[in-house]
C-alpha cells in the first residue's frame, strides 16, 4: 500500500459515524512506519505492538 492509498483509506475511516469492525485482514495490513528518533531495528516491534492493540480491540469491542 502506497502513501496515497493509505491516506485515502484513512480519510474514508474518518467519514464513518458508526463502529467499524476490525478484521484480521486490517490487522495484517498494519504498515511498517519509519520514525526519526527510533532505531530502524525497533520498527518491527512497534508494528507488532500496533497489531496486538488491534487484536485486543477486536476481541473486547464486539
* Domain ranges (residues) in the chain: 19-60
Q: Is the pTM of the predicted complex or chain greater than 0.85?
A: no
Residue 1 in this model has a pLDDT that exceeds 70: no
Q: pLDDT tens across 40-61, in order?
A: 999 999 999 999 999 999 999 8
Provide the pLDDT for residue 6.
72
Report whether 30 contacts 47 (CB < 8 A). yes
- 4-43 pLDDT, tens digit per residue, is 777 777 776 666 666 778 999 999 999 999 989 999 999 9
pLDDT computed for residue 17 by the predictor: 66
In angstroms, rounded to a whole number, what is the distance separating the alpha carbons of residues 10 and 5? 9
Contact call for residues 46 and 18 (beta carbons, < 8 A): no
Amino acid at each position: 500500500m502506497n502513501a496515497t492509498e493509505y491516506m485515502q483509506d484513512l480519510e474514508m475511516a474518518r467519514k464513518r459515524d458508526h463502529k467499524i469492525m476490525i478484521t484480521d485482514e486490517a490487522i495484517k495490513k498494519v504498515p511498517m512506519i519509519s520514525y526519526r528518533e527510533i532505531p530502524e531495528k525497533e520498527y518491527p516491534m512497534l508494528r507488532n505492538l500496533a497489531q496486538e492493540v488491534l487484536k485486543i480491540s477486536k476481541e473486547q469491542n464486539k
